[in-house]
Every structure is written in structure tokens, then in C-alpha cells.
Amino acid sequence: MSNENDDATQLGSIGRHMSKPQQPGNPQARPAFQAPSLPTHPQEQDGDEEGTVLSTHNATPSRPTRPTVPMAQPMQAQPTQSAPTQQPLPQSQSAPVMATRQFPQTTAPSVKPAQPAMASSMMSAPQADITEFHELFAQLVGNVSQVVVGKEQPIRQCATAMIVGGHILLEDNPGTGKTQLARGLANSIDMSFKRIQFTPDLLPSDVVGVTYYDQKNGEFEYREGPIFASIVLADEINRASPKTQSALLEVMEEQKVTVDGETHAVPQPFMVIATQNPIEQLGTYKLPEAQMDRFLIKTTIGYPSHDVSVNILKQVNVTDRASTVHAVLTGNDVLRMRAISETVRLDDAIIEYIVRLVEATRHNERIQVGSSMRGALALTRCARVWAASSNRGYVVPDDVKQLAVAVLAHRITLTAEATFAGSTPEQMIEQILNEVPSPTVGAAA
């Protein structure tokens, strides 16, 4: 008689449903099927729908009878427990669960004490803040689009860099609107703006400032350079000497300037927009890798389409489009949007995906120098801003894919063989995006 009960208990632990009726003469077999049932938590089902979805991964029975029971019970409890309570997730209120079955280390069952931390990480940004962010971001992009027509993607990237607090490198052919884009973005925000035309005879003191002796007062005084502005346009940055380019290293990373042993902070928010031409290399100095890594995003504008070109020619009398726009945001609005973007939720699967992308650049045989950790941080911060601009309080894999080339391409160095073969950093990042599996949006089965 005991052998039959043991067989029934083992079958119940494997996940068999009670489809066959029990024999009347064997009443003791019923507790073996009811004991390992998944405990219910009314307080989590009422107020935490996302926790109900995650219960299929992290929930453990309160009284396991055998070591194999906790591994089989979540699979049995999913159709009976989570299916009735799971509701359709709104686009901007609740974050979906990222199924990471291709990442074994992220799907390992966790212990019961780790559930409160998981529940707190599932909280996304409030809907009111995300809506406010989305509206302000749309106003900024729409205003700059009046200056550079038909180039929404690079405009969104520049606005993303400004909100994150990073810097932009615009590299494109002459006459594509690089300077107009930088001036249009500066005129759209009510902040200080200064322009520096980089030339071969430009000195570091012409950028960061100089300490001079005031004969009238009989003391040394510091005169600020044009770098002390919220938005600084470094036009044709590759035409200056390397020592002048190096004067921007400290201010771009630490947002402060040290002159004669004294440190001076720059205004906040602060952003450097640099431009350069990729075709004119005579009399220019290539930016070092250390300075390239300090740019958050490197992007291009490209030529306009046929219809846009026709409309521009119809407005041929408008010589300076950047001067026709007015400010739609203030510096406080930018800081407010930056604070909202910091509340956008990042799933563990998204973080794992970003790390795998960066690590793939370090182990590729055609890449000599891969992306640094600064690149992974930059991609993470930009993805949160990109998600909030799409009126979402959580990051999805498409946000990372749309920004990976602009954020990581200028941080890698190809081997000589790959360069001679005609490969470009942008093509290598696209290849890595196709090779590295991305998380799947939705509840994992």
C-alpha cells in the first residue's frame, strides 16, 4: 500500500494534472497532490500585476516535499494562477517581462528573499512624468526640424545626448547642415551658446581661458574662455592642433576646467557639439581615441531627399534657418527631463543584452580595440531617454538596437586587415547586432 502512495506522490511532483478520478478506497492519496500547491498572495494579485507575471519564474512552494517539486511546480501553476489575473499591459504604464531563455544565467530560479528586490525593479516611471517628457521632447524635435528638414533621426539623437548630458560629434560632408543643426538646437533652448571656430593656430587658452595680471587692481584674474557656455559649438574640430584638442578632454568628461591650479565649473546643463569633415584630411589632425570615447554619440546627417530639396529651393530667400526658430525649452526643463529619464525602468535582460553587445566588440577577430565600459554606460543612459521619448516608462530591445551604431561605432578600432577589406565600424556593429540574440518582449513560458 505504501508503494502505491509513493508512486502517486512522485507522479504529482513531476507536474501531472489530476485528470483521472481517484479510487474510493484510497482516500490518503489526496493530500499528496494538494500539499505542494503554489501559495497565493492576495496583496500581490490586487496591486502588482507584473509580480503575477514574474511568479512563474521566482515563486517557490512553502513546503516542498522533494527536491524536484520546486522545479516543476511553476510550470503547473502558470496556467492556473497567473492566467486569470494577468491583464493587457498598457504601453506606457507597465513594463513587459523580458524572456531571456537564451541567457542561462538570467533564468536561474532565485530564492524567496530576493522577491522584494525584483518587485521594486519592476516599477516603471509614473505615467504623468513620461507624458510630460514625451511632450517636451516632441516640441524640441519639431522645432529643430524647421531648421534641418527631413532629418528626424539625427535630431532625436542630438536631443537625446543633450538630455543625458553627453556630447555630439557630427561627421559629414560639407554643406549637409551640421552647423545649422547645432545652432538650431542651441536656439531651441533658452541657454547660453558660444561658437568656436577651430583653426591650426588656435591655442588652448583661446578655448578654456587665461589668467592675466590686472595692473589697475594689482592682482591676477581669470578670464573665462568660450568653453563656459551651456552649448558649445566646436566647428571643424579636427583642424586644431592636438594640444588644443586636448584642452577639451577635462571639460568634456568632468565638466570643469583647471587653469593655473584653479578649477572652474562650467554651466549646467553642458554640451559640446563638434563637427568635422571626413573627406578633407590635408592640414587636419585626427582626434585621438581618448577624445573620441568622450563623445556620447557620433552621427551623420546625409543629403536630403528629392522632395525636401525641392521645398528648400522654394525657400531660397531664407539664408539662415537657425535664426528663424525661437526657444521652446529652458535649462530647467532639460534638467527636469534628465531626472525623469533616470526613473525609466531597465529590466535585467536589457542590461545583460547591453553587456553582451559590448563584450562582443572585444572578442571579435576583426576589431582591434573594443568598446570600453563608458560605451556600455552611454548606451544604457541613451536607451532610457529614447524609451521615454517614445512615451514608455521602460526600455525594450529595439531602443538599444536603434542607438547601438551611433553610440558604439566610434569607440572601436578595426584591424588593418578589416580596414583594407573595406569594412567600417558601423558595419561591424550592425553585424554584432545580428549575431547577439536579443531578449523577447513578453512573459516567459
Question: What is the per-residue pLDDT across 205-225, written as a single tens digit (0 to 9) for each?
Answer: 888 888 888 888 888 888 888
260 closest CA partner among 335, 325, 331, 210: 210
Across residues 75-92, what is the average pLDDT? 43
Q: Which amino acid is at 145?
A: S
427 closest CA partner among 361, 383, 328: 361
Residue 372 has what pLDDT? 86
Extract the C-alpha cell encoding 240: 586644431
Residue 97 has what pLDDT? 53
Residue 442 has what pLDDT? 60
Q: Which amino acid is at 315?
A: Q
Residue 441 has what pLDDT? 65
The number of residues in the chain equals 445
pLDDT in tens, 21-68: 444 444 444 444 444 444 444 444 444 444 433 333 444 444 444 444
Cβ contact 426:408 at 8 Å: no
Across residues 180-186, what is the average pLDDT? 87
pLDDT in tens, 360-394: 989 888 888 888 899 899 999 999 999 999 888 88
Q: Of the ranges 38-42, 135-139, 256-260, 315-319, which is most confident?
A: 135-139
CA distance 259 to 253: 16
CA distance 294 to 169: 10
pLDDT in tens, 280-330: 767 788 888 888 888 999 988 888 888 888 888 888 787 778 888 888 888
When pLDDT is cut at 50, 70 and 90, the band that residue 276 belongs to is confident
CA distance 105 to 443: 17
Across residues 200-208, what is the average pLDDT? 88
Across residues 433-444, what is the average pLDDT? 76
CA distance 385 to 341: 5
CA distance 428 to 422: 11
The reply to whether omega before 269 is within 30° of 0 (cis) is: yes
- Secondary structure letter of residue 244 according to DSSP: H
H/E stretch holding 274 reads strand 271-276
Cβ contact 246:234 at 8 Å: no
Cβ atoms within 10 Å of 265's Cβ, excluding its own: 12
CA distance 159 to 394: 19
121 closest CA partner among 340, 443, 350, 335: 350
CA distance 341 to 367: 32
Does residue 110 register a pLDDT over 60?
Answer: no
The vertex-179 CA angle with 295 and 293, nearest 5°, equals 10
CA distance 147 to 337: 23
- Burial bucket for residue 260 (CB in 10 Å: 0-12, 13-18, 19+): exposed
Contacts of 157 (CB under 8 A, 6+ apart): 168, 297, 299, 403, 406
Extract the C-alpha cell encoding 246: 586636448
Q: Dihedral sign, CA of 364, 367, 368, 374?
A: negative
Span of 117-121, 189-193, 273-277 with lowest mean pLDDT = 117-121
Q: Which residue has the higher pLDDT, 170 or 288?
A: 170
Across residues 345-351, what is the average pLDDT? 89
Give me the chain's average pLDDT, please: 74
When pLDDT is cut at 50, 70 and 90, the band that residue 96 belongs to is low
Residue 129 has what pLDDT? 85
Extract the C-alpha cell encoding 234: 566646436
342 closest CA partner among 388, 296, 378, 373: 388
% the chain with pLDDT above 90: 10
271 strand-pairing partners: 231
